[in-house]
Amino acid sequence: MQVVHIVFYIFAAMAVVSALVVISVRNPVRSVLALVVTFFSMAGVWMILSAEFLSLILLLVYVGAVMTLFLFVVMMLNANSTGSREGFTRYLPFGILLVLLLVALMIISFGSSFTQLPAPVPPGADYSNVTQLGAVLYTEYAYPFEIAGVLLLAAIVAAISLAHRTPKQRKSQNINEQLRVRREDRVRLVKMPPEKKNDLS
């Protein structure tokens, strides 16, 4: 076993454990922090695969920006351990069954053939992940790349259309209207016939 293997197992174990923590802790802030650890360990695994660029992007974009934003949102919303665990025990047997089935399926399919698969060729010393990506991203993969761009546009439109409320539904002050108000709009003078006191005399 080489050093690389040991490093891989450390990162993999970290990823699995922290992913379990994400779904099992009650406090959402801790959950988000555990997700940060998951991303971090996955970045480590990618580094071993010599995908340095992607690994750093994962750290910068996901851990640095997205997860921090997420943390802010969770803290601002003050969503405090509201998740109930009612269904947990009820769905647990079904979940375990599903996981066991999947694991058995994987063992059957990978178990025998795992050794038959050729090992990937290790990249040479002058291999550069960035150059490789740059060479194919805008040439060979231009079409999928563009679709991914359209996907982001669609996501923006979808997010705005879901979050946006028309002013009518929102409670907001209209200063102009408030200043322009006249006495006639607010006070109504009603003419009424004078009423007699209903005395007994």
Partner 1 sequence: MPIFSLASPELALLILSGLILLIDVFTPQRLRFLTYLLVQATLVVAFLLAIAQYRHHAELLVTFNGHYVVDKLAILLKLFIYVMSFASFAYAREYIEERKIASSEYYILGLFCVMGMSVMASAYSLLTIYLGLELLSLPLYALVASHKDSQQATEAAMKYFVMGALASGMLLYGISILYGLTGSIQIPEIARLIHAAPTATVSLALIFILAALLFKFGAVPFHMWVPDVYQGAPTSVTLFIASAPKIAAFGITMRILVQALPELHVAWEQILTVIAFLSMFFGNLLAIVQTNIKRMLAYSSIAHIGYSLLGIIAGPSSHDGYSAALFYITTYVLVAAGAFGIVALLSRTGIEADQLEDYRGLNARNPWLAFMLLLLMFSMAGVPPTVGFFAKLGLLVSLVEAHRVWLAVAALVFALIGAYYYLRVVMLMYFEEPTEANASKPVTLSWDMQLAVTVNGVAVLALGVLPSALIDLCRIVI
Number of continuous H segments (helices) and E segments (strands) in the chain = 9, 0
Cα separation, 164 vs 1, whole angstroms = 56
Show the tokens assigned to 91: 């769905």
Near partner 1 by CB under 8 A: residue from 85, 164, 180, 191 = 164
* Nearer Cβ to partner 1 (92/105): 105
Is 97 one of the binding residues for partner 1 (CB under 8 A)? Answer: no
CB-based contacts of 127, cutoff 8 Å, min separation 6: 50
* Nearer Cβ to partner 1 (147/181): 147
Is 147 one of the binding residues for partner 1 (CB under 8 A)? Answer: yes
Near partner 1 by CB under 8 A: residue from 77, 84, 89, 165 = 165
Q: Which stretch binds partner 1 (CB under 8 A): 12-20, 91-99, 125-133, 159-167?
A: 159-167
Q: Which stretch binds partner 1 (CB under 8 A): 4-12, 18-26, 48-56, 135-143?
A: 135-143
Nearest to 41 by CA among 2, 72, 10: 10
- Binding to partner 1 (CB under 8 A): which residues in 53-92? none
Is 101 one of the binding residues for partner 1 (CB under 8 A)? Answer: no
Is 113 one of the binding residues for partner 1 (CB under 8 A)? Answer: yes
Cα separation, 91 vs 168, whole angstroms = 43
- Orientation angle between helical segments 28-48 and 3-24, nearest 10 degrees: 160
**How many Cβ atoms from other residues are within 10 Å of residue 34's Cβ?**
19
Cα separation, 40 vs 15, whole angstroms = 8
Is 143 one of the binding residues for partner 1 (CB under 8 A)? Answer: yes
Q: Give contact residues for partner 1 (rule: CB under 8 A).
A: 105-106, 108-110, 112-113, 116-117, 139-144, 147-148, 150-151, 153-155, 157-162, 164-166
